[in-house]
Structure 1
């Protein structure tokens, strides 16, 4: 008998100005991009509400449970770039009858994934040809936010993180 295990449904990078820089869906052919775009937009207010209370910890934990299957978790860098992971509680099929089926996941289960995403983002920023989005200075001309992240190496690393992650993994 096959059991269902949690897996990552979406990884998103959201810029300082709350503009989506990357939205990766897993598996892409089974997910609606517009639905996830709306879900990601709905969590931005939660980041703004919790931001004044965060000190050293960048992990925002559970942002919201969309339904009994999808839950959104957040992480914010010190430059206010946000990472959001949407977990599908029944994304993976396990053929192992002795598999430990989790009733839920803990915030700590996602820390290795967020650290791996942050490391990949730092490597992207080290690329001299990548221009990160810059904040708009009050009273200055409106600067157009940068386009979405298209780096093949970054997209490949995000895909690898989503495929490797399982609840309880220590490092990615």
Structure 2
């Protein structure tokens, strides 16, 4: 029997006003979207509780272990946008390249830093796009429509990051 390697189950981008900007599930057909929306909402209090103790470091590390299988990790930009990565500890079957990380008992906070850096870069590239207009406040949905990120390039990049990440990766 082959071992299993942790993989990313969900990536959430949460706005400054705690409004969900983007949620991606991996693999989408096997995940319950509502369950992960609740999980992402539940971590917002943890961000708020840890915020007074944070200085220049943007990595919030392990936010919470949902159960023995799912763990949530967080990162906040200097503008208040939060990235949350939910890791499935039994995510995917191990390949020959994953043999070292397949035997790992758990994850270190540093294992997710490359994914968070790549997500932040993707978000910055989205904001640099002259045709993208970011939501101004959480209540604009009533006036302007959805506040969700719908950029195909951003969504494709989030999917690439989730597919490329594995424990021990140093650059994505």
TM-score between both structures, scaled by the size of structure 2: 0.92
- Asked whether the 8 Å contact 1:65–1:72 carries over to 2, the reply is yes
Whether 1:128 aligns to 2:120 is no
* Displacement over 2 Å in runs of 4+: 95-98, 133-136, 142-146
1:107-154 Cα distance to aligned partner (Å, 9 max, x none): 000000000000000000011221222247xxxxx5448610000000
Deviation, 1:75, is 0.2
Structure 1 unaligned blocks of 5 or more? 137-141
- 1:139 alignment partner in structure 2: none
Change beyond 3 A, Cα 1:3–1:154: same
Q: Are the aligned partners of 2:21 and 2:149 in contact in 1 as well (CA < 8 Å)?
A: yes
Trace 1:97-112 onto structure 2 (pairs within 5 A): 99-100=99-100, 101-112=103-114
Question: Which residue is 1:48 aligned to?
Answer: 48
Unaligned ranges ≥5, structure 2: none
Matches within 5 A, 1:138-153: 143-144=140-141, 147-153=147-153
Q: Residues 5 and 98 of structure 2 are in contact (CA less than 8 Å); yes or no, is this contact kept in structure 1?
A: no
Residue correspondence of structure 1 range 17-32 to structure 2 within 5 A: 17-32=17-32
When normalised by structure 1's length, the TM-score is: 0.92
Higher share of residues assigned helix: 2
1:152-171 correspondence to structure 2 within 5 Å: 152-171=152-171
2:15–2:81 CA contact under 8 A, matched in 1: yes
